[in-house]
Amino acid sequence: MPRFFFHIHNGHGDTPDDVGTDLPDQSAARNLAIDSIRSMVSEDARRGVIDLAARIDVEDGAENVLVGVEFTEAFQLHLPDRQEPYRP
Amino acid sequence: MIEKLLLKLRKRDEISREEERALVDTIAEVEDVPAKQTVIKRGEALNRSVLLIDGLMCRYKDLRNGRRQITALHVAGDFLDLHGFTLKHLDHDVMSLSPSRVAYASHERLTRLTESYPHLTRLLWFSTNLDAAIHREWELSLGQRSGPAKAAHLICELYTRLEIVGLVREHDFELPLNQTELGECLGLTVVHTNRVLKELRERGLVQFRGGTVSIHDVDALKNFAGFDPTYLYLASYSR
């Protein structure tokens, strides 16, 4: 199985992947990226922060970006029709 | 051969020479197991229990969609399936994470041991109770702790368990599993696990690299994890 490297890029710094993960194909790599984004954003949400200004670049071992997944692609967003932040 | 088991049990109670001999006599056949091999399959009939002599193994359960939860890690000196002695089959699989060495105790011999040595019986009972206590702590982690806290907590637990059996050097120990498998212990994907490890590294607490854990600041790591070793029952009592 080919090895894929999942590098996270966001506003506060990058999380490079220097280990890699063996997966059957690019479609499995994209699924793992989506799954991982949902998992990380869920954890951040429990701390009261949702930051979707980030992406995962999936590379092969030669630093070619095979798939780029924006965090926003992992979600259907339903936001209220108002500009000001919601304050309970 | 059973030195690690003796270290683990003698941490919690005294074991006489005669009891030691009885334990040695209960353990027969030794076998080397390659890494990533399922040694006990869910549902299969069991007539022996497996003692881990050397290496790292896990208990795990899979969902139909392929997602895996590692429910326990086992280090040298642990019985992998002493509970199988009374259950006769398991509801989970057991797999080697690293190349490992195991020894087998037939249920027939265990029956004789329990009939002749009630104190050893209680100590083996203690060790399955300890497994259950560790499961409860993992439940707490999986349900309530943040990703970085549960990773830190697991590292504190392994540090404590491995220290008892003499497998910690300074503040380093071997943890021969990959990030996917570590994630399967924590309920996180491999990518999320990488982010969690980066946070622990950047906080100056611990580094996990190439199968080795290096703890930079043990007290700070325990504090960050909220680690209280009471659930590992480290005191020696007449049991």
Please, what is the average pLDDT of chain B?
96
Biggest CA pair distance of chain A: 49
Write down the domain spans for chain B. 3-137, 146-232
Q: Report CB contact under 8 Å: A43, B146.
A: yes
> Which phi and psi (to 5°) does residue A60 adopt?
-85, -175
Q: Tell me how many residue pairs between chain A and chain B have CB atoms under 8 A apart.
A: 38
- What does the pLDDT read at residue B73? 98
Instruction: Please say whether the dihedral angle defined by the alpha carbons of residues B231, B234, B237 and B239, taken in this order, is positive or negative.
Output: positive
Residues of B in contact with A17 (CB under 8 A): 191, 194
CA distance B135 to B131: 6
Whether residue A82 has pLDDT greater than 80: no
Q: What is the pLDDT of residues B46-83, one digit of tens each?
A: 999 999 999 999 999 999 998 999 999 999 999 999 99
Strand partners, B48: B106
Let me know if domain B3-137 sits in CATH 2.60.120.10.
yes
Class of the CATH domain delimited by B146-232: mainly alpha
**Nearest neighbour of B191 by CB, restricted to A6, A43, A47:** A6
Cα B179 from Cα B199, distance rounded (Å): 15
Q: For residues A25-53, give the mean pLDDT.
A: 95
**Confidence band, pLDDT 50/70/90 cuts, at residue A81:** confident
Please tell me whether the overall predicted TM-score, pTM, comes out greater than 0.90 for this model: yes
pLDDT band at B101 (very low <50, low <70, confident <90, very high): very high
**pLDDT > 80? residue A11:** no
The DSSP symbol for B178 reads -
Q: Are B95 and B187 in contact (CB under 8 A)?
A: no
Q: Do B190 and A36 touch (CB under 8 A)?
A: yes
pLDDT for the residue numbered B129: 97
pLDDT class for B28, splitting at 50, 70, 90? confident
**Half-sphere exposure for B150 (CA within 13 Å, toward CB):** 21
pLDDT at residue number B164: 97
Let me know: does B62 contact B99? Beta carbons within 8 Å.
no
Verify whether the Cβ–Cβ distance A32 to B179 is below 8 Å. no
What are the pLDDT digits (tens) for B113-155?
Answer: 999 999 999 999 999 999 999 999 999 999 999 999 999 999 9
Residues of A with CB under 8 A from a CB of B: 6, 8, 15, 17, 19, 21, 32-33, 35-36, 39-40, 43, 46-47, 56
pLDDT tens digits, one per residue of B156-212: 999 999 999 999 999 999 999 999 999 999 999 999 999 999 999 999 999 999 899
Position A86 confidence tier, pLDDT thresholds 50, 70, 90: low
Select from A19, A36, A47 the Cβ nearest to the Cβ of B192. A36
Neighbours of B237 (CB within 10 A): 9
- Interface ipTM: 0.90
- Judged by CB atoms closer than 8 Å, whether chains meet at B191 and A56 is answered as yes
How many CB atoms are located within 10 Å of the residue A83 CB?
5
Residues of A in Cβ contact (< 8 Å) with B188: 39
Confidence of residue B16 (pLDDT cuts 50, 70, 90): very high
A6/B195 Cβ within 8 A: no
* Backbone angles phi and psi of B172, in degrees to 5: -115, 150
Average pLDDT over residues A60-80: 93
Chain B positions touching chain A (beta carbons under 8 Å): 146-147, 178-180, 188-192, 194-195, 198
Specify the amino acid at residue B221. Answer: L
Amino acid B201: pLDDT = 96
Angle between helices B17-26 and B107-116 (to 10 degrees): 160
Instruction: Summarize the confidence of residues A72-86 as an average pLDDT.
Output: 83
Instruction: Tell me which chain A residues have a C-beta less than 8 angstroms from the C-beta of B192.
Output: 36, 39-40, 43
How far is B38 from B157, CA to CA, in rounded Å? 24
Which of B51, B143, B65 has the alpha carbon at shortest distance from B94?
Answer: B51
pLDDT grade for A87, boundaries at 50, 70 and 90: low
Residue B132 and residue B238: Cα distance in Å, rounded? 20
